[in-house]
Amino acid sequence: MEQQEAVRGAVGELGEWVARLRWSDAPAEVRERLLTVLVDALAVTALGSREPAQRALAEAWDAPDGPAPLFGTGRTAAVDAAAWLNATAAVRLELDDGHRLAGGHPAAHGFPAVLALASRGTPGAELCAALLAAYEVAARFGRATSLRPGTHPHGNWGVAGAGAGCARVLGLDAPGATAAIDAASGMPIAGPFSAALDGNPVRDTWIGAANQSGLVAARLAATGTGHPTGIAAHALGDLLGTLDPAALVDGVGERWEVLGGYFKQHSSCSFTHAAIDAALSLRDQVDEATAQVLVEIHSLGAQLDRASWPTPLAAMFSLPFVVATALRRGHVVPADLSADALADPATADLAHRVVIRPAADLDARLPDERPVRVTVTSNRGRHVAERPNPVGDAAFQPFTADDRIRVLGDLLGDPAAVAAIRDHVAELPDAPDAGKTLRALGSALGAR
């Protein structure tokens, strides 16, 4: 009961902070970073919407028309459908940004719902404040939650961020925002990490469910019938792991979580990125045909050791696949997840020569680092590369806003489209109606 009361008090403090947050009061670097995260989120959503599986899902959904853009499709849909479909598209290719210390993806958990809800007509500054609230609350819940081993982080701790952001779009006061965050934190998904390793696409839908739950929680709070109880102490704590209530509010409004996130350049699980970076650095020094590869990695990444990939998702969570792909092709991008690429016998042959081994010395460096050591032995000799974190992490060669625009332009194969996203996003803080700007952005992206 004491733990539950502590969580209830922390959620109340977060609710008060969300209600009083003003976009103009956030430091300039925070505002700049949030807008860069938004550009990233929109671009990777548009990219994910091109995937055949995502197109099939959107068609099967038969979403009713509405005010919210389905980014990358050229159409609009009802709020709830857009929130779910955009969220699923955002994570479809494992290119969405994340937060190492939160242990997952704060933006994907709440941005689609906030954007969809704001499409009905919300001042741009209020939308930006809502997105910032969604990110900060989600990341704090991620830092405060230690999930049980084998639990995937999609769809559980991040739901609270979706609730916070949607509450802000609805203009709820402090008690209302508190009720929304509390209710959202009581709707987690207990998804097994094995779903990603197996390549089961249900894993992507957990992010859609998180955004839907954020909408539900905020609407419940808007009725005035919410009753905050600190339910996360049981939902995220007792059932799914442990929850530290002090971490929910430590430095709130002073330490901005959005500054600690990372951006991706490889289409794969973040646990694989440092290994890809290391493999790429060795590519010109090894003979692929005779290469034997040892990937020593922390225990979080060591579970990604499967040398078979029945689906693109399974490939993105296979260290043997992504390391072999990096050595063979010089990148790991969406095209490397096509049916032909997944069936390439040369990639499979090299992947079966990739050994994954957990290393105690690398485990000791968690969580400040997610280190990896790659050793490649071939007829050209033995070569070793080590990385403390992936390129693009806030703590290691972070991407600037211009860097991210360049990477996104390469990934989309359309720098003009990324420039259009950047320009529309830059207009949002001063837009009298963010919905019009978002629909213009949706039209600019169109269907490709």
Residue 354 amino acid letter: V
Reported confidence tier of residue 99, pLDDT bands at 50, 70, 90: very high
Distances (CA, A) of 248 to 165, 230, 252, 340: 16, 12, 8, 45
Instruction: Say how far apart CA 189 and CA 175 lie, in whole Å.
Output: 25
Average pLDDT over residues 232-238: 98
**Is 293 within 8 Å of 132 (Cβ atoms)?**
no
**Is 204 within 8 Å of 90 (Cβ atoms)?**
no
Q: Which two tokens stand for residue 399?
A: 């991407």
Residue 175: phi and psi, rounded to 5, are -60, -35
Residue 237 pLDDT exceeds 90: yes
Determine which of 83-97, 121-135, 393-407 has the lowest per-residue pLDDT on average.
393-407
Q: What's residue 444's pLDDT?
A: 83
Determine the straight-line distance between the first and last CA of the chain, rounded to whole angstroms. Answer: 54
pLDDT over 70 percentage in the chain = 100
Distance of CA 59 to the CA centre of its chain: 24
Residue 393: phi and psi, rounded to 5, are -70, 150
Q: Which two tokens stand for residue 208?
A: 């859609």
Distance of CA 389 to the CA centre of its chain: 17
DSSP 191: -
Domains along the sequence of the chain with CATH: 2-264+400-445 (1.10.4100.10), 270-387 (3.30.1330.120)
Average pLDDT over residues 90-97: 98
Residue 208 parent element (H or E): helix 202-222
Tokens 């996360």 belong to residue: 232
Q: What's residue 447's pLDDT?
A: 62
> CA nearest 207: which of 54, 15, 417, 11?
54
Instruction: Say how far apart CA 20 and CA 285 lie, in whole Å.
Output: 56
DSSP 98: B
Q: What's residue 1's pLDDT?
A: 77
Q: What's residue 382's pLDDT?
A: 97
Q: What's residue 416's pLDDT?
A: 87
Reported confidence tier of residue 232, pLDDT bands at 50, 70, 90: very high
Residue 387 amino acid letter: R
**Is 85 within 8 Å of 61 (Cβ atoms)?**
yes
Tokens 């639990």 belong to residue: 151
Strand 381-387's sheet: what is its strand order? 354-358, 292-297, 372-378, 381-387
Instruction: Say how far apart CA 431 and CA 446 lie, in whole Å.
Output: 21
Instruction: Say how far apart CA 177 and CA 11 lie, in whole Å.
Output: 9
Mean pLDDT taken over the chain: 96
Query: pLDDT for 321-346, tens place per residue?
Result: 999 999 999 999 999 999 999 999 99
Tokens 């680092």 belong to residue: 369
Query: pLDDT for 3-40, tens place per residue?
Result: 999 999 999 999 999 999 999 999 999 999 999 999 99
Query: pLDDT for 399-447, tens place per residue?
Result: 988 999 999 999 989 898 899 899 999 999 999 999 999 999 998 887 6
Torsion of CA 89, 93, 99, 104, to 10 degrees: 80
DSSP character string of 128-164: HHHHHHHHHHHHHHHHHEEEPTTB--TTSTTHHHHHH
Reported confidence tier of residue 360, pLDDT bands at 50, 70, 90: very high
- Gyration radius of the chain's alpha carbons: 21
Instruction: Say how far apart CA 55 and CA 72 lie, in whole Å.
Output: 10
Question: Which segments within 148-288 are labelled E, that is strand?
Answer: 241-243
Cis peptide before 27 (omega within 30 of 0): no
Q: What's residue 298's pLDDT?
A: 96
Residue 146: phi and psi, rounded to 5, are -115, 105
Residues 6+ apart with CB under 8 A from 26: 34, 129, 132, 256
Residue 247 pLDDT exceeds 90: yes
Residue 257 amino acid letter: E
Query: pLDDT for 146-193, tens place per residue?
Result: 999 999 999 999 999 999 999 999 999 999 999 999 999 999 999 999
Tokens 């992936």 belong to residue: 390
Query: pLDDT for 192-210, tens place per residue?
Result: 999 999 999 999 999 999 9
Looking at the DSSP bridge assignments, the partners of residue 377 are: 292, 382
Tokens 């994910």 belong to residue: 48
Instruction: Say how far apart CA 184 and CA 172 lie, in whole Å.
Output: 15
Instruction: Say how far apart CA 207 and CA 88 lie, in whole Å.
Output: 6
